[in-house]
Amino acid sequence: MKIANVILLLMISALITLIIYYQIESVEIIEPTIEKAQTKVIVLPDEGVKIPTFVGKTYEPIFTVNKIDDFLYNRIKGLSFKVNDNITKLDLRYLEITYWSFDSKRYTGEMIVHQSVANEVLDIFKELYEAKYPIDKITLVDDYDADDNLSMLDNNTSAFNYRVIAGTTKLSNHSYGLAIDINPFQNPYINNDIVFPVGSEAYKDRDNIRLGMIVSDDICYNAFTSRGWTWGGDWNNSKDYQHFEKDMKDTN
């Protein structure tokens, strides 16, 4: 009787074991998903391909003509622009000009000229830009309180400034935006022993051509004179090597 009980218990134990085994086998085992790492493919240029290099700012050159808005008018009012009976803000245009400076980098400057020559002046400076003609800086004389001497001392290229010719009561063509001074320090005004700006005396020698100087038949000279502008370097009684101007009658 005891043996029969033992056998029964063994059979029950084996049956339970089989039931547990089959339950374990029926459980679905979900294996973790292994995602492949995202890789960035870097394509190197062929050895024969020349990678372009940029000098200065890498933006596109800017050459625009704009009317004088209220913001700009308030900036120049009482400085380069003075209330007068000869010219109004409607007669003037604000130019943005990209140029190559003495450091062989590109910058965008600003200039105000008469509306009748605005597009022509833009074409001139485009020509100078394409030729990489060096201009130290181009900004409004208002940044110097419209003081022409301070502007020249800083070698600033500028145009409009309602003022008289120094030592006279006659209005300068700058008053109409019909005159432009370029690199004044390298291209001084000379009248006998008088040289402006102060400190530029070394540039009286026009045979020793250096960076920024304007000489007859160079790129700058031809860009202006081919469009009917006259050069102060061609004057007889004095020399104003920085100065180009156009008569009002020639703008009609």
* Sheet of 189-191, strand order: 194-196, 189-191, 239-240
Q: What is the pLDDT of residue 211?
A: 95
Query: Where are the extended beta strands (E) located within the chain?
Result: 63-67, 92-100, 106-114, 137-138, 156-157, 179-181, 189-191, 194-196, 230-231, 239-240, 243-245
Calculate mean pLDDT across residues 95-116. Answer: 96
Mean pLDDT of the region 124-143:
97
Give the mean model confidence (pLDDT) for residues 39-45: 41
| pLDDT band of 7, cuts 50, 70, 90 | low
Q: What value does the mean pLDDT of the chain take?
A: 85
Closest CA to 132 of 159, 96, 106, 97: 106
Q: Which alpha helices (DSSP H) does 66-218 contain, by range?
A: 70-76, 118-130, 148-153
Percent of the chain with pLDDT strictly greater than 90? 71
pLDDT reported for residue 184: 97
152-168 per-position pLDDT tens digit? 999 999 999 999 988 88
Can you give the pTM of this predicted structure?
0.76
pLDDT at 59 over 80: no
DSSP state letter for 210: -
pLDDT higher than threshold 60 for residue 37: no
Closest to 159 (Cα-Cα) out of 89, 62, 245, 96:
245
At 19, the pLDDT band (50, 70, 90 cuts) reads low
Q: What is the pLDDT of residue 13?
A: 66
Of 178, 196, 181, which Cα lies nearest the Cα of 135?
181
